Amino acid sequence: MKQPVNDSSKDQQLEQYRSAHVGEALTTNQGLRVSEDEHSLKAGVRGPTLMEDFHFREKMTHFDHERIPERIVHARGYAAHGFFQVYEPMAEFTKAKFLQDPSVKTPVFVRFSTVAGSRGSGDTVRDVRGFSTKFYTEEGNYDLVGNNIPVFFIQDAIKFPDLIHAVKPEPHNEIPQAASAHDTFWDFIANNTESAHMIMWHTSDRAIPRSYRMMEGFGVHTFRFVNEQGKARFVKFHWKPVLGVHSLVWDEAQKIAGKDPDFHRRDLFEAIEKGDYPEYELGVQMIEEEDEFKFDFDVLDPTKLWPEELVPVKIIGKMTLNQNPTNYFAETEQVAFHPGHVVPGIDFSNDPLLQGRLFSYTDTQLSRLGGPNFHELPINRPVCPFHNNQRDGMHRMTIDRGQVAYNKNSLQGNSPKPVPASEGGYEHYQEKMEGRKVRERSDSFKDHYSQAILFWNSMSEVEKQHIIDAFSFEVGKVMSKDIQQQVVDMLGNIDTFLAEQVAISVGAKKPASSKPMEVTLSSPALSQMNTVKLPNTRKVAILADNGFNGAEVTGLMEMLKKSGITAEIISKNLGMIKSDDGNELEVNHTLLTSSSVLYDAIYVAGGQQSVDSLMQKKEAVSFIDEAYSHFKAVGAGKEAAEMLAAAGITLESGAPGVVVFNSGKEVTGDSQKFIDAIIQHRHWNRKM
């Protein structure tokens, strides 16, 4: 395992709070050494427990209070430490110090999450994924609180409680958990058509990512960059994964939820432990303030994206995640993000969803973390000093000296003192404002469908079919025929074919008047078909048993390792299996404890004895069939071709992504063909 690069002041700060307790004497929380921890204090060996047993009461009271309220949204999450480096000084655009010096490694803590489910829900459910980054900069903490989808369901924060109430389990029976396929959610969507664009993303492959390491992140909202001269630009933030953007297929995602509900968090943890550090490049889109009204969308509308073909993404730096948390609760669960945690050079726009979040996040942390001092928890503390006249409150850790807790004062020289902007003090951008107080939205927010159509136009035929299938599944779970019809009618405003296919699937009528807006534009950047494809960190299952072709399997495993691909041996039983040349390999998993859905590709070893043994297990044939049906690369030794046939793979008519080795004679060439097939991620040209 590679050792993480821990040269950050944040890691040094956290070290003082870490303790393994190994070899230490057992004490109470007050430091009193404990002589017995197996039995409570009783009045006789069979008598009642005594109230004076302070050790029992302390231990049990702490246990009774070990859980804090889970997040209302983003409850299911996992996180990692790392660092960020900018590629070149960004002084032309922003005065934020952490975006100036390429030699500086800014510590970060990143939390990935699902939105709708509880802490105990599965990782691979169809849902939006949170992608939140805390930068521990020398000017204070900066939180980029985003998602893996660049737009959102609603335009105004006042509707957020309604959205979440609709998608959460229905209140009369607390069903379903971590799922949007139910009446209240789709009733909300059909009656709040500002969600039309987001629901297209939600039903696309973006909602079932292959891993946290292979999904994009977006700041969602429009922010501002402000430079030293006071010039501002509108900005949107993008995280681009170096490994590309890849997803599961829906059947696979559902099965993984049962086979390994911790699939995504395990994937992230194991990758970091192995030294396969996840990397993301930070990109920004910028629009000059004078160009605010240049586009056919409102730049402040959170249900709209800025097409990359119109507003290019400028890549400005890279983030590397290189260390797992020491303790899940202390770090991942107690971390507190807030879009209002900014540094000089980053400011807000009047996006009405963002404006509401600036209030909501403080409020929720007060409730969840028990008071106003959540910033003093180790994971939330900035690496720079902080000083003010705030005092007291629950869980106060700072021991404040002196008698002064107010400003202005003379007793301590009117300190701590405000810092002028010229010396690094934060100053809000002086935007000119005018208008009456109203409860309205701009007319420029009333277009609910053009970008939903843009998204549909940008999808490949395969991705379009997945969207149709997702709508058919989700709306097919809705009990109300009226709501099903409302959804179909809404889809008629996006695409006639889409609406008709969903109508057929759920038994609804075709939209009465399907006349979508005339939108011919597309954005290739939105299709995952155009993403980066690399072999790095892919996982391959090798099915083998005693008598497998040793030279073939050994040669393949060596080439897989050189390509950055992990291979695991799957067999009937744990232990060692022996090859035809007398060498042994250790089995990693059995057919019972594993599944094809947990791998990116599979290989069935050659060697007649091994094949004959595996053929006796229907699970082995099902393993192959399932991988093939999920469009994954499938490799096989010459003798194993009969197992492919048993799984229904017909080689004579062509089987894209299937590589049959030439009996070990051309291991290098065949292995490379197999690796090339793995790199493609999926082979969609198989019959759908």
The residue among 131, 567, 571, 539 whose CA lies nearest residue 319 is: 131
CB distance 647 to 624 below 8 Å = yes
HSE (side-chain half, CA atoms, 13 Å) at 75:
19
For the record, the structure tokens of 320 come out as 């590397």
Pairing of strands 589-590, 658-660: unpaired
Catalytic-role residue among 141, 147, 148, 322 = 147
**Cα 488 from Cα 471, distance rounded (Å):** 9
Question: How many Å apart are CA 289 and CA 235, to the nearest integer?
Answer: 10
Which residue, 261, 316, 259, 264, is CA-closest to 286?
316
**Active-site residue, 147 included:** yes
Alpha carbon distance 550, 584 (integer Å): 9
CA dist 673 and 671 (Å) reads 5
Cβ atoms of 583 and 550 closer than 8 Å? yes
The C-alpha torsion from 135 through 136 and 142 to 146, rounded to 10°, is 30
- In the numeric block, which tokens belong to residue 662? 């030439």
Q: How far is it, in rounded angstroms, from Cα 684 to Cα 460?
A: 11
Extract long-range pairs of 90-95: CB within 8 Å, 24+ residues apart: 90/225, 90/316, 91/227, 91/228, 92/227, 93/225, 93/227, 93/233, 93/235, 93/284, 93/286, 94/225, 94/226, 94/227, 94/345, 94/346, 95/226, 95/227, 95/228, 95/344, 95/345
Pairwise CA distance, residues 503 & 481, whole Å: 11
> Which three-class secondary structure state does DSSP give residue 638?
helix
Burial class (CB in 10 A: 0-12, 13-18, 19+), 404: middle
> Which residues lie below 8 Å from residue 94, measured CB to CB, with a gap of 6+?
225, 226, 227, 345, 346
How far apart (Å, rounded) are the C-alpha atoms in residues 177 and 330?
26
Distance CA 374, CA 285 (A): 33
Place of tokens 């395992």: 1
Prior bond of 416 cis (ω within 30°): yes
Residue 490 CA to residue 455 CA, distance in Å, equals: 15
74 catalytic? Reply is yes
Question: Longest Cα pair distance anywhere in the chain, in angstroms?
Answer: 91
CA–CA distance, 249 with 254 (Å, rounded to integer): 9
Q: Which strands make up the sheet holding 658-660, listed edge to edge?
A: 589-590, 566-571, 539-543, 601-604, 633-636, 658-660
153: its two tokens: 């369901």
- Integer CA distances (angstroms), 682 to 17, 318, 443, 566, 570, in order: 45, 27, 43, 18, 22
Q: Can you say how many angstroms the Cα of residue 20 is from the centroid of all Cα atoms in its chain? A: 29
Catalytic residue among 55, 74, 338, 630: 74
Active site residues: 74, 147
